[in-house]
Amino acid sequence: MSSSLKTLRIGRLATLVIAVAMAPISARAMSDSETRAVAREILAEMVAIRSVDGMGTTEGLVRAVAERFLAAGFPAEDVQVLVGPRPDIGNLVVRLRGSPGEKKPILLLAHIDVVDALKSDWTLDPFVLNQVNGEFIGRGVADNKAGAAHLVTTLLRFKDEGFVPDRDLIMLLTGDEETNGDGIKWLITGLPELQEAEFALNSDAGGGTTKGGAGYSYGLQTSEKMYLTFNFEVINPGGHSSRPRRDNAIYSLSKALNRIADYRFQAVFNATTKGLFRELAKLERGQLARHIRSLASARPSKRSIKELSKDPWYNAMIRTTCVATRLEAGHADNALPQSARATVNCRIMPGLAAAEVEATLNRIVADPQVSISRDNEPVPSDPSPLRADVMSAVKMAVEARYPGIPILPTMSTGATDGLHVRNAGIPTYGVNGLFSNPRGANAHGMNEHVKVEQFYAGLKHWDMILKALSSSRTTAD
């Protein structure tokens, strides 16, 4: 149990349940404290709806959010509740119209579905926004309802204060991200107006880390590794274990797995990882800094690659990895195994084709007895090129919060809705407004939490980034 969970137990009496109520829209522009109150109310409303995929509840959530936009004066044609591609997936598309001009729209992404949570597993009700000792606790408070509440509140505030961007801002709230990403795939391929966007900002990726309570670094996510699982299988006639044969399913599979263990995919670098290493080198000292700097150079040294590959994190950033994760073989203590199976999970660097990885595995295993098949169809996604305007907008927002900390371009190892938007040809950047300590928010786990002050600071983060990217007055000319 983490120390923060202990604090939660002690602080149970201090639990504050936030009521879900619609705040009246004021005639004048919302103050910062009113904005925070609205954001909290929206987050509470979202958490209170158990928007688990397959339950048919995401539609109710997006309808509640749509009501807020209509009440704030958004025209009905700019607030679209779209249910699909299945009847249990609710999505919302809201457009804040900008002044006419050349600039193409920006897409803003958040998903509103969550991984389910059981009340019996949690200290507190997961579907109530609880506030305990400076933290919001509830399913989805970090992944990704904070991000959704940030975007919704920011657009409502823009409308309220009369801010007219110089381009359209189009927010997509999607269901099914935690399952198949079917909501975003359906929207992005079905609505041609979305494909006109210049780029997308994803609230479900990127974000900052803190160390000892202070800001440490901010990760701007531009890329995702491709996820692909292989099944290794050896079938054998078997027989009595008192009369072993030369061929044995367990031995064949073991040899194959040992070859996988010894194999290292070639080191590859892209603009994202080079940029990341360049910034990381500044945070380190001595020999380590020299090795990291070498990775960022035009010709990384073999020695630096070898040294840094000893570290699992650097290794994963440098190359495609494949690792055995499950094993199953044999059926009786006194029988030769008739089958042996293993699962090998690969995380593939952007740009490398799944077929190439499969061919490599077959080549290094080099045993026709071992059949290798794919367990899932991988979704490739090319890294989005770093944009100076996005970079400088994010830098400004981060500087305002934690001056001097580095902005690191990052590649993540899982998949988000952003993957599908990139695949539709729209560069996508993960720029979440939260900073968390290295232990994280326990997203998908019990007692998911986010610091209250971080949630509120995220509002300013989005306000600054979006205004920087959609105000002619702040663009350099």
Q: What gap in Å lies between CA 7 and CA 385, rounded to an integer?
A: 42
The nearer residue to Zn ion, 277 or 429, going by C-beta atoms, is 429
What own/partner pairs with CB < 8 Å and gap ≥ 24 does 1-4 have?
Answer: 2/439, 2/442, 4/135, 4/439, 4/449
Q: How far is the CB of 203 from Zn ion (least distance, A)?
A: 9
Nearer to Zn ion, 174 or 252 (CB): 174
Taking the complex as a whole, the smallest distance from the CB of residue 111 to Zn ion amounts, in Å, to 6
In whole angstroms, the minimum distance from the beta carbon of 55 to Zn ion comes to 17
Distance spanning both ends of the chain, measured CA to CA: 54
How far is Cα 317 from Cα 265, in angstroms, rounded to an integer? 12
Q: Shortest CA distance to 123 belongs to which of 434, 436, 445, 440?
A: 445
Sign of CA dihedral 425, 432, 316, 216: positive
**In the complex with Zn ion, which residue's Cβ is closer, 143 or 182?**
143
Instruction: Count the neighbouring beta carbons within 10 Å of the beta carbon of residue 270.
Output: 18
Q: How far is CA 53 from the centre of its chain?
A: 17
Give the residue with the Cβ less far from Zn ion, 221 or 248.
221
Write out the residues near Zn ion by the rule CB under 5 A. Answer: 143-144, 204
Rounded to the nearest whole angstrom, what is the least distance from the CB of residue 183 to Zn ion in the complex? 12
Quickly count: other Cβ atoms within 10 Å of residue 24's Cβ.
Answer: 7
Q: How far is the CB of 142 from Zn ion (least distance, A)?
A: 8
**Minimal distance, residue 313 CB to Zn ion, in Å:** 21
CB of 148 to Zn ion, least distance (A): 10
Q: How far is CA 375 from the centre of its chain?
A: 22
In the bound state with Zn ion, the residue whose beta carbon lies nearer, of 30 and 151, is 151
Instruction: Give the Cα separation of 141 and 391 in Å (integer).
Output: 26
Which lies closer to Zn ion via its Cβ, residue 49 or residue 365?
49
Closest to Zn ion by CB, 176 vs 279, is 176
Number of CB atoms found within 10 A of residue 354's CB: 18
By the 8 A CB rule, do 469 and 106 touch?
Answer: yes
Q: With respect to Zn ion, which residue has the nearer C-beta, 144 or 369? A: 144
Taking the complex as a whole, how short is the minimal distance between the CB of residue 416 and Zn ion, in angstroms? 6
Count Cβ neighbours within 10 Å for each residue of 418-443 and write b for 16 or more, e otherwise: bbbbbbbebbbbbbbbbbbeeeebbb
